[in-house]
Chain A
Amino acid sequence: MNAELGQVALALALSLALVQAVLPIVGAARGNPAWMRIAPYAAVGQFFMVALAFACLVAAFVSSDFSVRYVASHSNLALPTHYKVTAVWGGHEGSLLLWVLMLSGWGVAVSLGSRSLPLTMTARVLGVMGLVSLGFLAFMIFTSNPFDRLLPAPLDGRDLNPLLQDPGMIFHPPLLYMGYVGFSVTFAFAIAALLGGRLDAAWARWSRPWAAVAWAFLTFGIGLGSWWAYYELGWGGWWFWDPVENASFMPWLTGTALLHSLAVSEKRGSFKSWTVMLAILTFALTLLGAFLVRSGVITSVHAFATDPERGVFLLAFLALSTGLSLALYAWRAPKVGMGGSFAPFSRESLLLSNNVLLVVAMLAVMLGTLYPLAMDALGLGKISVGPPYFERVFAPIMMPLLFLIGLGSQTRWKQDDPMTLLWKLRWLLLASLVIGGLWPFAVGHWSPLTSGSLMIAAWIGLTVLRDIVTRLQGNAGHRGLAARLGSLKPSYLGMQMAHTGIAVFLVAVAMVMSYEEERDVRLVPGESVEVSGYDFRFQGTSRVQGPNYSAERGVVEVSRDGRVFTTLYPEKRHHPGQEMPMTNAALDRGLFRDLYVSLGDPLGGGAWVVRVYYKPYMTWMWSGCLLMVFGGLLAAADRRYRLASTRRVAPAVGTTSTSPAGGR
């Protein structure tokens, strides 16, 4: 029953998406306000229908209705209830429904948040979002229906992949999808602006908070995925340059470029066509990501079952939406122009370099990800591109970019003098060189790449501090430090927080790549192994019983200088529904190092292959990600964006600045 209700809800959502896609855009073209006003209602209606379908699927999972094929293949009776709920997005069909739910949720957020925007603008933005929804809903209903029946119903379902039975899984996909789908909002704003021929500072200001929120979610989703891979997959690594990781990283790179380019468009009126291009590109890359993951063209943890039909649909959707957007761009963008002029050394030119470097980085990732696929598709042989390629390419592209972070926020708009600026920052440069030069000695041997990365991290941190201190001194009118801090704008603080996050993250990358130690050893009970000054004594294994699995649990005592300070319990789990055993690593986390133990295979006689890792500064990596996420959210929360958009409703608010040149 529930499944049929869900089915009907999806069909209604599809028709509402069609209404939302057609009427407002046509209305905006013809100047018909009644048609335009339909947009928010259609968006809200569509959201409720998708939410109803989603609720039906959740209900089918919780009540273990195995007559629904999707439920039968992703859940079983023994699965704990909270994992039954998260199993809803544990496979292709359900995760697609979650994707559409988020997309329609963003639609509601846009219609609520844009009530004060010009009617034509709102109508066009929501119309474009309706088109995107239409594509995904059609994809789901026609190729991947989560409500397909399986008759006769099996008595019990297959299990949820044990890898997905983890708290990280509860949040990783929804956050990632929030980010992915969020960029369809900036895309919709860009297309709406092209349709209306109105690309101005106001357009950039409307887009900015959406871009920042989407970026924050995407960052959070990628970070959480990395964290999950680190402790759950038993690999101990945090980034593998796996095609699917790359699929989420490419829109992150262009999304980051978009954030910065939007800032220039808003403050200086420059780069507008470029900004629109980035918005289209980022959206196209999110579709490419969906294609890579869902068509089965790649071998990966994330890849769903192979189904050529899905791949063809997504590829057609990608080609159609990108093609139409670019055609529209070619037709309308030249009228918009590049905007205000600037000198070769100015904040604009530094931000332009930022954009170029980010796009080059994205292209390098894309080459490594798509080239093997293209070769395979053309029948030219099977090849793969390993992490060494990405590592070798990435460092030289990222180093100048990261150095510019420190320089960029210190540089004036329009024109600045590089020599004067460097002279002003000479003590910071010197301090960064000293800190980065000495820091490696605290952990291990000295190497130029490690030291260089740490210098840049210190440079970013110090320039952020200097900039904040300078601003606080400038605000002498306020009494007390708290009041002065409060006078700084959230968008400014958010930016500096995200930049600090990059610095903290960079420290972690430099440290872990230079000083991590990994040992796979054979240990009999009572035997021990020494890694980076820590002594790991294996005390054997015992059998334990979990809620829906049984496990061999190893006992490993960790000591340093003869003093035992913790005991780790890595597990090898076996889920009865599945053939595959699961490795659950045990970690001892610390501010400056993680210790990581996982069990390999039993060798007989109580001996096991044991994997022991020493990973310095991993906590910094996750902290850096969190700083970036909160930075993005803080920036989006700036009242300026809301004041500017409520201006027409409440003209009494006198402090609103509508001038595009709000910078220094």
Chain B
Amino acid sequence: MKPRHKRLAFIAAALTGLVVAIALVLNAFQDNLVFFFTPSEVLAREAPLDRTFRIGGMVQEGSVRRDPKSIRVHFVVTDGVAHLPVFYDGILPDLFREGQGVVAQGTLAGDGIFRASTVLAKHDENYMPPEAAEAMMRARQNLSPEALVSDTGPAAGDYR
């Protein structure tokens, strides 16, 4: 091969490698996007049944119940309008508590209960997860002001 051909082959090989890499990356990316839904959207059946997604909102006051015989926890996530029941098997993050913002990732079963595989840890007690704040905000926008549930907790960015 002449040097010029060699160089062409070299460039062609590099390009092929690059295309394969990009295809691989985009494919994996497509499969692993996790979408976000608010409790209202979930109850309106906008969320998929067969795919992992995230929910966010407040843990409803008085809704946390522990199963005494196992490590299962039940609680309700609300955006101020809709109430979504959630199951979780495992250890909740240190900052999880009633009346605080929460983000959970998992799947929705046919019975309308969200089975969380992860409950996201927030490591600052004054920090509102943006997803939770977003859920509250979206729910508010869809309501007339009179219908608003008044106690919705601190807004995002309410730090110091």
| Chain A partners chain B | yes
Please report A residues at the B interface, Cβ cutoff 8 Å. Answer: 73, 161, 163, 233-235, 296, 299, 301, 303, 305-306, 344, 349, 356, 360, 363-364, 367-368, 371, 376, 381-386, 388-389, 392-393, 396-397, 520-522, 578-583, 598, 600-601, 603-604, 609, 611
CB-CB under 8 A for A603 and B68, given A305-B160, A306-B157, A382-B134: yes
Asked if A389 contacts B35 (CB within 8 A), the reply is: no
Question: Chain A: interface secondary structure?
Answer: mixed
Q: Mark B19-55, 1 if CB is under 8 A from A, else 0.
A: 0010011001101111110000000000000000010
Question: Could you give 20 example pairs across A and B, Cβ below 8 Å?
Answer: A299-B120, A305-B157, A306-B157, A382-B131, A383-B33, A383-B34, A383-B35, A384-B36, A385-B33, A385-B34, A389-B32, A389-B33, A392-B31, A392-B32, A397-B21, A521-B71, A522-B70, A522-B71, A601-B92, A604-B68
A486 to B57, CA, bound (A): 63
Nearest CB of chain A from residue B82's CB, rounded to whole Å: 17
Answer yes or no: B130 CB below 8 A from chain A CBs: yes
The tally of residues in B whose CB lies under 8 Å from a CB in A reads 47
Smallest CB gap from A297: residue in B: B130
In this assembly, does B69 line the interface, its C-beta being within 8 Å of a C-beta of chain A? Answer: yes
Nearest CB of chain A from residue B4's CB, rounded to whole Å? 12
| Contact between B91 and A611, CB atoms less than 8 A apart | yes
**Chain A: CB-nearest residue to B97:** A579
Residues of A within 8 A of B103 (CB): 299
- Quote the shortest CB–CB distance from A354 to chain B (angstroms): 13
Residue among A344, A360, A385 making CB contact with B6, cutoff 8 Å: A344
Residue of A nearest to B6 (CB): A344
Q: Is B61 an interface residue (CB 8 A)?
A: no
A382 touches B36 (CB 8 A): yes
Evaluate contact between A609 and B91: CB separation under 8 angstroms.
yes
Which residues of chain A are within 8 angstroms of B21 by Cβ–Cβ distance? 360, 397
Is residue B81 within 8 Å, beta carbon to beta carbon, of the partner chain? no
Task: Point out the residues of chain A lying under 8 angstroms from B156, CB to CB.
Answer: 306
The 6 closest A-B pairs by CB, nearest first: A600-B91, A389-B32, A382-B36, A305-B159, A392-B28, A306-B157
A358 to chain B, nearest CB (A): 12
Chain A nearest CB, measured from B73 CB (Å)? 8
Output the nearest chain B residue to A234 by Cβ-Cβ distance.
B94
Nearest-CB distance from B55 to chain A (Å)?
11
Q: List residues of chain A with CB within 8 A of the CB of B32.
A: 385-386, 388-389, 392
Find the A residue at minimum CB distance from B20.
Answer: A396
Taken together as a complex, chains A and B put the C-alpha atoms of A603 and B72 apart, in Å, by: 11
Decide yes or no: A383 and B36 within 8 Å by CB, A368-B29, A611-B91 being known contacts.
yes
Give Cα distance in the complex from A305 to B123, angstroms: 12
Cα distance, A478 to B66, chains bound together (Å): 73
List which B115-160 residues lie within 8 A (CB) of chain A.
120-127, 129-131, 134, 156-157, 159-160
